[in-house]
A and B are shown apart, each in its own frame.
Chain A
Amino acid sequence: MENSGLFFNLVILIVFLPVMGLLFNIIFGRRLNEKIVGTVASTASGLAFVVSLLLGYSLLASGGEAHTIPFAEWIKIGSLDIPWTFRVDTLSVTMMLVVSGVGTLIHIYAIGYMHEDVRFKDDVKRYSRFFVFLNLFIAMMMILVSGDSYLMLFVGWEGVGLCSFLLIGFWYDLDTLGRPSWANSNAAKKAFIANRIGDLGFLLAAFTMFWFFGSLQFGDVFLKAEEIAASQPGVIMAITLFMLIGVTGKSAQIPLYVWLPDAMAGPTPVSALIHAATMVTAGVYLITRSWALFSLVPDAQYIVALVGAITALFAATIAVGQYDIKKVLAYSTISQLGFMVAAVGMGAYVAGMFHLVLHAFFKALLFLSAGSVILGMERGHHHLAHHAKSDDHHEEVFDPGDMRNMGGLRKQMPVTFWLSMIGSLALAGIFPFAGFWSKDEILLDAAKNHTVVYVLLVSAAFLTAFYMGRQVWMVFFGKSRHAAAEHAEESPKVITVPLMVLAAASVLGGALNLPFVHSLEKWLEHTIELAAEHGAEIHGYLAISWGGLNPVVAVVSTLLALLAIGLSWLLYGRNPLQFGQIDPLKKMLGPVYTTFENKYWVDEFYGAVILKPYVAMARFLAVKVDWDFWHDWLHDSIIARFFRWFTKFLAEPIDLGIIDAISNGLATLTKRSSTALRQLQNGFVRSYALSVLLGVVLILGYLLFK
């Protein structure tokens, strides 16, 4: 059916524009000006955004039905046929817009950020590599969201895992201060391995799916889902739970979230793009995409929701005890992802997607402004080192991200301050900023259907506001606690302008799904069949609905947020922290706070329970089994010795004894017989005559006596 005037066929460009960008930068990047490298990469991403817009327009114009655009044949073996088809429907276009939109802004930001970072770390040549990896990430994420089968999704899934590894470990041999260190590569490895465990879950889900459904294409699977659920109970449950393992890996839920905080070792644009806005939302996308499967197994849904809710609260408590500005944001991301996972677990797909989109805006904004703050601190430090009159060796380990070194930055970096404020308010969920609308929808759904989840989520929301307030007071207010903070400078336009765009989105983003209008809901409805309201009677106040918004829940959550901010002001704002002073909350909560500070010692726990035995076993297998037994004993002692004995046996008795003896014997025989026969020719005529006579006698005798 010819769709003239529509742009569905452009969908392949969303993958191939970034690919072309990265190829250009691989080949020419090192020789070109940094600005050109950055511009090419950002243009590739920007054009992908434009294509996504066109696809969205095409969907709107054609009534929102899903379109599948086949691209290439990939695997075709026997009855197994897995092509590469693109799927353009409202859900995938939503993701495409988020990824390319936020991605382009971050590309632009990174032009300026990396310019300063490579000079701070003193390795200018690495600049173009960053943009190659960023474009690769965009391409992979696009494959993830535009695939029409679980296998294509998985290709993208793995690809973004790879890019995460590459980008976290971008400074693989240097630490944040430019000294040699393997900390970043270790963090990258941790991310990859944790993700791999999740990928195993995904693969198990895919295998099970293929075994029972015979296909991995979305269309086929969703059509057959109900029939399989009826005929073979337990299959869908298994598939969804395996998928959940994958989600906990990629979207950093309990128990596989441990990689995300360490991933902050990567440059800030990476943290913003991958670990806040896009890659980590892949898990949420997966569940939303598989709504047809999840809606058949309410038990699995409940497990998902619980996992999300518990993670949300857990991570929020840890965030309260962190001092590194990016670590706070990392745990905040885990917590917000918990919100999203809980939402889609409860069946509130629209709420979850809404929060995903808005979270991308304000979290990216927060990360990027944190990056701006860090840059400012680094500039201040540099300034200090330059003008240091006293030459007391300033080899102090200066961490530009430690909030205990900051303070009073709103005077030195006003633009960053205001933008960061907007982001924090949005995250805390204060009306009318973006986070209010989406978080509220989630809380409403939880309140209506799952009280336990509601309690967990609302506590997490309280803590979210608290720790964001703490961060704002510690960073921007009070007096500078370190000389570097005093001399911090504002960041250039190339950094602050993308922040402004994101800030605008954070303010206005709520418009995407306002009550009474519900634009996003109507948009997504084309793809997701929203569950009807659950059967149970909805009591009293919960039934009030102002076009979808319940005032009671909204008011409760807003009050709690304001309360939290007030508390944080009491602790951190009223008496600003002095340099070296212990966190007042620590004085209050003591060991509880220490637990938060140490992340509940989860990493240490994993290290002792999983890593240590694993390494010990690996070492045992390598040293004892492989080297000692297999090599030293089996190979050397038995096999080599036998071989040597065997060759010696063949060589000495057989080769020397028999074969040489034969040939030598023949020679000796010839010699001896010739020596003997030579006697006949002694030169004496008389003996020759004798032999003649002998012959005559013999012949005569023979003739006579025969």
Chain B
Amino acid sequence: MEATIPLSFYITVSAILFTMGALGVLIRRNALIVFMSIELMLNAANLAFVAFSNSYGVLDGQIFVFFVMTVAAAEVAVGLALIVAIFRSKHSIDVDQMSSLKG
């Protein structure tokens, strides 16, 4: 008999990882760690894509993951440049310190 893992397992893992990434975005004050949590979320989404792609037997999911990765890379480049620029003016990467836009 073929060993199979139900799709739902993969999706569950994806969901858990996504949730934890979201939690990280919300809870952590270090901007870099927030960024990393965002990457975690993207990653969880990628996992879901690939799992479904496999389940439907098409490659479109994988191609999408390809693009997501590319975009994630670009985004990380720009985002880190931003953090560096902010660090230059605020001398801190605490997101709580960047609250000048309060009303």
Binding site for B on A (CB under 8 A): 678, 680-686, 689-690, 693
Contact = CB atoms under 8 A, between A and B. Distances in A.
B98 to A, nearest CB: 7
B25 A678 contact: no
9 A-B pairs with the lowest CB-CB distances in the bound complex, closest first: A683-B102, A683-B99, A681-B103, A685-B95, A682-B102, A678-B103, A683-B101, A684-B99, A689-B26
A680 B101 CA distance: 12
Contact of B102 (A681, A689, A693): A681
Given A689-B26, A690-B26, A693-B26, A684 B96 contact: yes
Nearest to B103: A681
Contacts, number: 31
Contacts of B25: 689
Contacts of B27: 686
Residues of A contacting B: mostly = helix
B68 interface: no
B22 interface: yes
Contacts of A686: 26-27, 29, 95-96
Given A683-B99, A686-B95, A693-B26, 16 more contacts: A678-B103, A681-B103, A682-B102, A683-B98, A683-B100, A683-B103, A684-B96, A684-B99, A684-B102, A685-B95, A685-B98, A685-B99, A686-B27, A686-B29, A689-B25, A693-B22
16 contacts: A681-B101, A681-B102, A681-B103, A682-B102, A682-B103, A683-B100, A683-B101, A683-B102, A684-B95, A684-B96, A684-B102, A685-B95, A686-B26, A686-B27, A686-B29, A686-B96
Nearest to B102: A683
Interface of B: 22, 25-27, 29, 95-96, 98-103
Contact of A682 (B22, B95, B99): B99
A683 B95 CA distance: 10
A29 B99 CA distance: 101
Contacts of A678: 103
B27 to A, nearest CB: 8
A85 B102 CA distance: 102
A570 to B, nearest CB: 130
Nearest to B27: A686
B31 to A, nearest CB: 9
A522 B96 CA distance: 137
Contacts of B96: 684, 686
Contacts of A685: 95, 98-99
Contacts of A684: 95-96, 99, 102
Most central of B27, B98, B99 by chain A CB within 10 Å = B99
A684 B102 CA distance: 7
A682 B100 CA distance: 9
Contacts of B26: 686, 689-690, 693
A678 B102 CA distance: 9
A387 B26 CA distance: 132
A337 B59 CA distance: 148
A641 B96 CA distance: 67
B29 to A, nearest CB: 8
Nearest to B23: A693
A291 B81 CA distance: 134
Nearest to A684: B99
Contacts of B103: 678, 680-683
A680 B27 CA distance: 18
Contacts of B29: 686
Nearest to A687: B26
B15 to A, nearest CB: 12
